[in-house]
Amino acid sequence: MSSVANALPGVPDVESPLFETIFNNKDVTPETLEVARKLRKDGFAVIDFPDPDFDMTAEKIKRALDDRYDWKAWRAGAIPGLRVQDAWDTVPEVKQLACNPKILKLLSDLYGRRVFPFQTLNFPVGTQQHFHTDSVHFSSSPERFMAGVWVALEDIDADNGPLVYYPGSHSLPIFTNEHIGVNPDTQAQNMYGHYPAYEKAWEAIVEALDLKPFYFYAKKGQALIWAANLLHGGAAQKDRNRTRYSQVTHYYFENCAYYTPMGSVEFLGPVQFRDNIVDISTGKRMPNQVNGMEVPASHIAHTVPSKHFLRDLAKRPTKTPPGFDPKAYLKANPDVARAKVDPVKHWLEFGYREGRPLR
């Protein structure tokens, strides 16, 4: 902890203009300071994952999840990638990686607030995902109190879908709907139908600033920490007969409000709060807070985006799509299952506009 009061507590320590003052007065190890400087400069830092039994843990994760991937569709080229979200709820080793005490301590030291994991994603192959920033999906107020940790469960090279990052892009402003000129749900068929406009904007930024990609050819057990606004994605998997096992954990920090900017237009009223965030390490729901005060549930309910657009009411489906399987829907959306809500009701009210997977 710092012995000097921080004049900017609403800015992550690692991204603060007061970085030198803050870290000169922090009781952190030289290794932590080195990570802090790399994360501040580039928006990411590579470390060896601090688990002495990592090889065994990785193998257990791979075995536990192997049957949950649609390998046939992947190898046929019918789908661009494979993933399992929130396997921490059923696979102890996934939770073990997400809640690694040394990772939690490191992130808390870097950001100046207690960190907690809230989502895991497990991949057996490359994501082949367009580069993006997590800030449009997982944001907070104050902004930038979110981080990701990706860890390689096997060696990765140019042929099995390495990660791609744009060093320094994290320091750009956070661009949201007002910057790309879209009010979600009024200019798109669904709340996320304008996502291609973000991709176009990111491409224009990369070209205009001549940002250069960095490909992470990770060795098994290497981990990469990245800042919320870093542009990152997945390179093409050239060899579809190979695997690329990895795990991503997304982290938030305490005393923030959590929301999705892509579904929000704050000055028109709608804010897509993330009101079901669970601290994986404790199993407790994390409240939305602003400067120590909890955001009232009545305010969150009032700002649900669909309540602000009559057009949403007109297009809302009245029945589930053909072949809708409630059990499959809950399996594909573990957070819905944990909330113990009716799957049909959830899809009709939220799932269809959130683009939730049906199975």
**Co-location of 86 and 162 in the same domain:** yes
pLDDT at position 353 is 63
pLDDT at position 283 is 95
pLDDT at position 313 is 47
**Co-location of 282 and 341 in the same domain:** no
Residue 1 within a domain:
no
Owning domain of residue 249: 13-308
Indicate the pLDDT class of residue 292, thresholds 50, 70 and 90: very high
Residue 116 within a domain:
yes
Residue 2 within a domain:
no
**Could you tell me the CATH number of the domain that includes residue 202?**
2.60.120.620
19's tokens: 């970085």
Beta carbons within 10 angstroms of residue 192's beta carbon: 18
Averaged over 294-319, what is the pLDDT? 72
Averaged over 235-239, what is the pLDDT? 91
Residue 63 within a domain:
yes
**Co-location of 74 and 222 in the same domain:** yes
**Co-location of 349 and 211 in the same domain:** no
Q: How far is CA 11 from CA 17, 106, 122, 260, 274, in A?
A: 9, 17, 30, 19, 20
Q: Last residue of some domain: 290, 308, 326?
A: 308
**For 133, what's the count of Cα atoms within 13 Å in the CB-facing half-sphere?**
32
Residue 357 within a domain:
yes
317, 356 Cβ separation under 8 angstroms: no
**Co-location of 256 and 357 in the same domain:** no
169, 272 Cβ separation under 8 angstroms: no
**Co-location of 127 and 215 in the same domain:** yes
**Co-location of 260 and 150 in the same domain:** yes
Q: Which residue has the higher pLDDT, 47 or 354?
A: 47
246, 153 Cβ separation under 8 angstroms: yes
pLDDT at residue 341 tops 70: yes
**Co-location of 100 and 188 in the same domain:** yes
Residues in contact with 296: Cβ distance below 8 Å, sequence separation at least 6, in sequence order = none
Residue 3 within a domain:
no
Could you tell me which residues are beta bridge partners of residue 222? 48
**Co-location of 222 and 350 in the same domain:** no
The structure tokens 């657009």 sit at 309
For 10-68, the pLDDT digits (tens) are: 999 999 999 999 999 999 999 999 999 999 999 999 999 999 999 999 999 999 999 99
pLDDT at position 267 is 85
**Co-location of 58 and 98 in the same domain:** yes
Indicate the pLDDT class of residue 171, thresholds 50, 70 and 90: very high
Radius of gyration of the chain (CA): 20
Residue 8 within a domain:
no
pLDDT at position 204 is 97
Q: How far is CA 166 from CA 42, 163, 227, in A?
A: 8, 10, 12
For 97-137, the pLDDT digits (tens) are: 999 999 999 999 999 999 999 999 999 999 999 999 999 99
Q: Smallest Cα–Cα separation from 127: which of 150, 157, 161, 156?
A: 161
Q: Last residue of some domain: 308, 328, 343?
A: 308
Q: How far apart are CA 8 and CA 25, in angstroms?
A: 15
260, 272 Cβ separation under 8 angstroms: yes
Q: Which helix (H) or strand (E) holds 118?
A: strand 115-123
Q: Last residue of some domain: 291, 308, 325?
A: 308
pLDDT at position 307 is 58
pLDDT at residue 246 tops 90: yes
Beta carbons within 10 angstroms of residue 167's beta carbon: 16
pLDDT at residue 85 tops 60: yes
pLDDT at position 51 is 97
Q: Which residue has the higher pLDDT, 329 or 145?
A: 145
Could you tell me which residues are beta bridge partners of residue 279? 284
**Co-location of 171 and 100 in the same domain:** yes
Looking at the structure of the chain, the number of domains it has is 2
Residues in contact with 79: Cβ distance below 8 Å, sequence separation at least 6, in sequence order = 70, 73
**Co-location of 277 and 176 in the same domain:** yes
pLDDT at position 190 is 66
pLDDT at position 189 is 54
Averaged over 165-178, what is the pLDDT? 96
Q: Is the pTM above the cut of 0.75?
A: yes
- How high does pLDDT run on average in the chain? 91
Residue 4 within a domain:
no
222, 47 Cβ separation under 8 angstroms: yes
Q: Of the ranges 58-62, 212-216, 270-274, 316-320, which one carries the lowest mean pLDDT score?
A: 316-320
